[in-house]
Structure formats: C-alpha cells, structure tokens
Amino acid sequence: MAGDLASNVQAKAEEVAKEDYYKAKELLADAAKSRAYLYPFKGIIYFITHKALWKPFSSRILPTLGLTLGVFASMLFFTYLPQLSILVFINGPLAVFTTTLLILNESSALVSIISRNFLLQDALLDTFDGTLVSRNATGIVREGRQLKSGNDPISRLGKILKSPFSKLTPKAFIRYVMYLPLNFIPVVGTIIFIFLQGRSRGNTIHDRYFQLKGWSSPQQQDWIKRHAGPYTTFGTIATLLEMIPVLSMFFAFTNAAGAALWAADIEQGNTQMTQGTAPRLRETAKKAE
C-alpha cells in the first residue's frame, strides 16, 4: 500500500513537472516571437540618439545620483558584513558573490522606491509620453494630456489630463520582502528572485499605455495574462539593467523609452507579439465592459 502511495505521488509530481515545463516552454516561445527582450536595448539606443528626450533626465540627474550613491554606500557599509556572515554558512565561498548581488537587489529596490515615488515620477511620465510623441503616436497621447504644436516631443507635452504612473503599492513591497530570502539559496535562489522581480516589473511597465487606452483593470490583466512571456522578459531585463550601480537611474529612463517604443509598435501594429494584433487589441478592449 505504501508502494502504491509512493507511485501515485511520483506520478503526480511528474505530471506537475511536465505541465510546468510546457508552460515555461510556451512562455519562452511567446517571448521570442514578440522580441520583447529587445525593447530595453532599443530604449537605450533611442534615448541616446534623441537628445530631446534628455530634458526630463537631466532635470533629475543630480538629486537622483546623490540618492543612488548614498543608498549604495550606506548599504555596503552597514549591511554587507552582517549579511556576509550569515550567507557564508549557507553559500560557502560563493557568499561574497551572493552577498554582493543581495546588496545590489536591496539597494536598487530602495532607490527605485524612493526615486519613483518622490523624484522621478513626473520625469519618467514625460519620457514615456515624449517617446510616443516622437514615434507619431500622438493620437493616444492626447487621450491623457494636452499637446502643443512644435517639433520637440518633450516641449509639446502639456497639461496632464489623466493621473500619472501609480506609486508603489504596499502589496508590491510586501511581495518584495517575502521573496528576498530566496537570495540565501546559492545562485539559483538569486536567479529565481530576479525572475520574480522581473515578472512583477513586467506587469507594470505598460501601466501608462493602458491608462491612455482607457482599459479597466480586468482588461489589463487579461492582456498581460495572454502575453505573460513577453512582459516577464522585458521586466527581467529592465530589472537587471537597473541593478547596475550608479547607472540605475539612466536605465530607468531608457526602460521607460523602451516601454513606450513597444507600446507604439503595438498601437501601430508593428509587433510580432501576436498574430492579428489589432483584432486582439479590439477584442481586449471589449472585454470586461
């Protein structure tokens, strides 16, 4: 009887593993098809080559750079050795590497929380909207703010008609704290942590786009659920870029530009995310109404 129970448990475990394997395979296939992984890098190139988009960035660079340096220096000084002393018992020689990654994760999270809620929110909004304007997606931008005449995409941005990006929610912060202990698992735990952070980040990178579209929360969730692979891929790469010390602020702006480029391609039907993007957009827009 015990043997039958063990066999049933093993069979169930194999079934779950197979389901997870095919689900992961499908997500990766969707991500590869959409080429969403390219948009963070496209954002870097586009941002660098379009000087008009630098205005919001340059207006916040000094206070945010000071914040970033202060947070990283404080975390290294006050928390590196205590965390290393714990991780050395778990990870052995790898503790130096995993502790450094943990400090980077923690510092990046603190910088992101503080800067996005108090320093960068309006600047990132202008970068996103300005990138859409520079890509001639003015129709959708007008749904959320007034536009002036002229050629400079940032100078054309007028009064905001719809509220900007939502701030960090308590749920998101609690989820981050819950996942943080994964970093105690050598290498694999840190990879899983970054992946989970990327998935969470991916779910929010088009908040402004959905806001401009006028989609309800169920409509947004339906779209993201059907394109989980692309959004997780974008979010993971964006998270990794923003973990780089000192440059994290720069990549926050390039990621905003990359997200806007992706939104413009979706809006203009220039993405391979799905077959028949426009019909699917219309279908999603009708859902939950």
The CA dihedral of 150, 151, 152, 154, to the nearest 10 degrees, is 60
What digits encode the pLDDT tens for the residues 136-180? Answer: 999 999 999 999 998 899 999 999 988 765 555 666 667 777 777
Say yes or no to pLDDT of 10 above 60: no
Integer Cα distance of 36 and 256 in angstroms: 14
Sign (positive or negative) of CA dihedral 152, 156, 160, 162: negative
| CA dist 28 → 25, 32, 266 (Å) | 5, 6, 19
Q: What is the largest CA-CA distance in the chain?
A: 79
HSE, CB side, 13 Å, CA atoms: give it for residue 229. Answer: 16
Q: Which DSSP category does 149 fall into?
A: S
Higher pLDDT, 98 or 278: 98
Sign (positive or negative) of CA dihedral 120, 264, 172, 238: negative
**H or E segment at 145?**
strand 145-147
Tell me what pLDDT residue 177 has. Answer: 72
Domain-by-domain residue ranges, the chain? 51-286
Tell me what pLDDT residue 275 has. Answer: 46
Residue showing tokens 């926050």: 252
Q: Which amino acid is present at 81?
A: L
User: Is-contact 193 236, C-beta < 8 A?
Assistant: no
Sign (positive or negative) of CA dihedral 32, 34, 35, 41: negative
State percent of the chain over pLDDT 70.
Answer: 77
Integer Cα distance of 193 and 185 in angstroms: 10
Integer Cα distance of 251 and 190 in angstroms: 21
Integer Cα distance of 78 and 40 in angstroms: 32
CA angle 153/54/73 to nearest 5° reads 150
Residues 6 or more apart from 93 whose CB is under 8 A from it? none
Reading the block at residue 280, the tokens are 């699917």
Integer Cα distance of 155 and 130 in angstroms: 9
Tell me what pLDDT residue 143 has. Answer: 93
Model-wide pTM > 0.85: no
Say yes or no to pLDDT of 77 above 80: yes
Least Cα distance to 155 among 129, 116, 182 occurs for 129
User: Is-contact 285 143, C-beta < 8 A?
Assistant: no
